[in-house]
Every structure is written in structure tokens, then in C-alpha cells.
Amino acid sequence: MAVKKKVESLSEVTVRFAGDSGDGMQLTGSQFSDTTALVGNDLSTLPDYPAEIRAPAGTIYGVSGFQLHFGSSDVHTPGDRPDVLVAMNPAAIKKNLSELKNGGIIIANTDSFDAKNLKLAKYETNPLEDGTLDGYSVFQVPVTTLTAKALENSALSQKEINRCKNFFALGMMYWLYDRPLDQTLVWISKKFQSKPEFIEANETALKAGYNFGEMTEAFTTRYRIEPARLPKGTYKSISGNEATALGMLTASVKSKLPAFLGSYPITPASEILQYFSNYKNFGVKTFQAEDEIAGITSAIGAAYAGYLGFTTTSGPGLALKTEAMGLAVMTELPLVVINVQRGGPSTGLPTKTEQADLLQAIYGRNGEAPIPVIAAATPSDCFNMAIEASRIAVKYMTPVILLTDGYLANGSEPWKIPHNDEIPAIEAKFVTETEGFQPYSRDENLARPWVKPGTPGLEHRIGGLEKANIKGTVSYDPDNHDLMIKLRAEKVRKVVNDIPKLEVDGDSTGKLLVAGWGGTYGAIKEAIIKVRRKGYNVSQVHFRYLNPFPGNTGEVVSSFKKVLVPEINLGQLATVLRSQFLIPVEQLNVVRGLPLRTADIADKIIELLGGENE
């Protein structure tokens, strides 16, 4: 007989699933996210992968996590600290306990708290028994045993049965937060369509976890979060990498140019190549190169041949591509270079997020090699900015760098799918007339002609050596070099005429302006909302265009007594703003491989305002 349960309504919740890499936490989190999106909650996610590919099972370094923040109103971040921790082993508690909110819920798989796993997690005693978890609501659930009991008649091996425990945990969480099972049941049927025994086992485990929540006396309360009031439309839960790939594809369709992606796989950018390769029916061509240099040079070759050329990478790969980016600058061919930033330097933190490649993107090439640089603000914004990077590249005949980061790439949120008519066309023009043709003549944007190789009568020199103005022949003339350097720089500066003005959220003048870029948008936005509720007057701007800055940037930043720049680096945007606009800039720099915390930004805002609200 089911135990009578109390139902409590909440406006928002942050949940973190954590366990060994083999415990299926990423799958559990993504299924919970997809279902949450389906029922209409706004959400933001943060997968947290181990940095080591094969970290020993049971160790702190091997813990894989997935955090989800969902609610009945706008959600901008994956949450600062989780309300709930689902811990599949002791190491998951050891790694995540300091992040959990005071009084938060812990659901622990007691079957894994044996002597071996406690030792691997560096526990001398069992935290479930020694008072370590005092102050938290702890639910001890023998997840492994209950899964095995539910599947005792299954044809699967014991090892395979153990791997189903994540679906038991997922079913339990579906019950706790009043989520339907339907979406996951459909996913299981499709995923294991050739293995009916796996379908039956995983479905049984999922339902068993749900029924356990309903029947057990341990849970006396379940929680309900009403759907968010999102603008009317068709939504899809999308990650930044998938959004980037769809933006690239859309740019190809809108420009009527075939797309080519030449890339070398690198975490956390590899998924873009995987997603993009699924669209061969759109004429997409993908090339998994043997190294980063081959990836970008193949894309430059494709651009020369009349394709919309892309290459994707992360920070270490961008370093290897720098000479070829100079080649794209010299040849003045349209190319989109996508850098999914990760923790550095060197190999650094491959699976963690960072914003430390801004100066590299703006300045990091030999010679005077200016390139437009733009950045996405949210996972779904990666779609818009991939299109925008392509538009600028084609219109100005220049390489463009699009910056995303590990959080945006792997995080997901609801994306309102735009109608085709809402996305402007990208005009791509190829010169075919021989009369008056000069390979380095320029239009009003200082863009040179784009000529498909093999067009009769339009043969011209191409390559990395300096070109003579207008004629395009190789030139070592010093005055010509000075002229060409300045023309290429002026072309990039002209992009400012073709990008939107910087928009201020809040008063256009005042005591404090908080300026961010890239994936810090959500954390800054929620911090602004938080301090405004306390009566503080503060304004926000967010830079999506970083080279050149929007035309009104100087006017905006000079209209405030103080400018605060929170960044996941040691102050790179702050450095550029100081150098270009000669203004004092306050910094908030936390480089933990994780998104900035809303609370840290809010505290800094209050500190700079002297603790006095207005």
C-alpha cells in the first residue's frame, strides 16, 4: 500500500548527479534534462567530466557529474550550489559535499559504501555513519541491491544488471520531482532496438525506481515545479556544440554555399564535427584531419574553392592554427575558426571550462594579422553566432574567430527554434566577369573579389607572401606592405558599421556597470537580478562582438563611475577595455574550470557599491 505523500511546490531546484564514469551519470542527467524540458520548465545544465580518460574507479578523480538547474521562471545558469546530490559512491560525496547547499538533500547508494570504496575516496570512516553529513537530509538507498532485485529474472549478466542502476536512480528522481517516464521509455526503445533484453531490463529498472519513491516510507514529500512561461513557439533542448553545428549548417543554406569542415578532434570541440557530419544530405563535407594544421589549411583550401569553410578546435589547437590563420588573413578568404575554450595552459584541464583565449584570439598571430572576434553568450546563442561569424566572413572576405567555451559547449537549455523567414540570407558573390578584374581591388567594405579557381580569365596569385595592392602579385615593396597592412586592419575596423550597438540592461549612466562576455552571461544576469531585488541600482552589458567592439562601447563604459568585469581568466577583457578606452576597470577573476558563481558576482557588486542600496 502506497504511503501518503505531501506535495510541495517549488519555484526552482538544482540537482547534481555524481558517480563513477561507468555509472552513467551523464546519461542520467541528460535524460532528466530532456524530460524536464518536455514538461515545460526552463533549465540550464552543466556536465562535469573527469579530466582523466580512465581514472581508477571509486577515486575522486574518476567522479563524473551532471548538474541541472530548472524552474518555473527564467533560468540563466546551471546553479551555484545544488539543492540535491545523488551520490552513487563515497567519492561522489567527497568531491561534491562542499558544493552542496546547507540543509540540502543527499540520496546515497549505500551499496557502494564498502571498505574498498571508502578507502579509494580517502574516507577513514563511513560518512553515512560518523556525523560527516549532519545538517543534511540524507536518504540511504541500496540502489544496486534494489536494481538487482527488480531484475532477478532478467537474462542479463550480473555486470550488465549493475549497469542498470542509473535508470533506477533516474526513476526515483522522476518520482521525487513529478516527472513522467514516457520520454525516457521511448529513448530506451530506440537506443536498444536490436537488444530487446536491454530494453526490458532498463525499462524495469526505471519503473522500479519510480515505484520505490511511491512506496517507500523514506520519502515523505515529493516536489512540483510548474512549467515556465516561455514565449510561444517550438522548443528543443540543445547543447552549445549542437547549436554551433546547426548554425554552421544554416549559414551554408542561407548563403547557398556548400559547407566544408576540416578539423582535428579535440575536447571539448569534437562533438561539433560529429554533429555536423550528420548533415551530408545538405551537401556538407567533413574531413577529420591528421592534425590541427591540416584541419585549418584544408578549410582554407575549401574557401578558395568557393565553399563556406569552417575549422573547429580548442585553445591548444588554436595555437597550432595561428600560422594558417595568418595565411587566411593574407589571402583574404572567408573562413570561420571556432574555438571552444577549455582550461589551460598546455593540455591544462581538457574537460573543464575557461575564458582565457581572448587575448590569443585578438592578438595571437605573427605580424599584423587582424581578425574579427565574436563570442556566444549561451548554449543556444551558439547557433546565432555561428551564422553571424559566417556572415561577417563572407561579406568582408576575412577569417573570423568564434569563441565558445566548455560550459556552453556541453551545457544545454531550451532553444526556441526560429522560422526560416526569421533568419536573413547571407549574400555571397563570385566574380565571373573578366573585364576590369583585379584580384585585390576592393568594394565599399574593403573586401576583395571572391573567384572560384578555374574561372577562365580570372587566374591570379594566391599564397602567404605579401601581395601588391590591386594587382595581387607578390610584392616586397616597403610602402606597399605598409599600405596593405593598413588596408587589412581598416577592413576589420569597418565591421563595426555592420554590427549592433552595445545594449545596456538598466540605466544608461550610474555608479556601476557590470560588463561580461561569453559564457559568463547567465551568472552575471542572475547576480544582477539578485542585487536589484535587494534595492541596488546596477546596469549590465554583455559583449558578443570583441574585435571590433560595438561602435558605442566607449560612450557606454565612460558613462559609469565604475566598471566591473567578471571573467574566468585573470582579466583579459578588462585589459583590452583599459587599453582601448583608458578607463579604470574593476575585476572579478575566478579560474576554477567551472562557471562563475552568481553569489560571488553579487557579493562583488554589493562591495563595489559600498554596501549601500539605492
Q: Is 471 helix (H, G, I), strand (E, B) or coil?
A: coil
Residue in 67, 62, 51 with CA at minimum distance from that of residue 22: 62
Residue stretches of the chain with pLDDT short of 50: none
Q: What share of the chain is helix, strand, coil (3-state, %, to 5)?
A: 40, 20, 40
Residue 612: per-residue pLDDT = 64
Q: Is 92 helix (H, G, I), strand (E, B) or coil?
A: helix
d(CA 228, CA 75): 9
Contacts of 528 (CB under 8 A, 6+ apart): 505, 506, 514, 538, 540, 605
Residue 270: per-residue pLDDT = 97
Residue 56: per-residue pLDDT = 86
d(CA 336, CA 247): 12
d(CA 250, CA 321): 25
Q: Is 595 helix (H, G, I), strand (E, B) or coil?
A: coil
Q: Dump pLDDT digits (tens) for 185-210.
A: 999 999 999 999 999 999 999 999 99
d(CA 21, CA 24): 7
Residue with cell 571556432: 338
DSSP assignment string, 342-410: -B-STT-BTTS---TTHHHHHH-SSSS----EEE-SSTTHHHHHHHHHHHHHHHHTSEEEEEEEHHHHH
Q: Dump pLDDT digits (tens) for 127-149.
A: 999 999 999 999 999 999 999 99
Amino acid at position 248, single letter: M
Residue 610: per-residue pLDDT = 87
Q: How many CB atoms lie within 10 A of CB 610?
A: 8
Residue 465: per-residue pLDDT = 97
H-only helix segments in 419-533:
478-494, 521-533
Whether omega before 566 lies within 30 degrees of 0, making that bond cis, reads no
Q: Which domains does the chain have, with CATH numbers?
A: 6-224 (3.40.920.10), 236-422 (3.40.50.970), 510-608 (3.40.50.920)
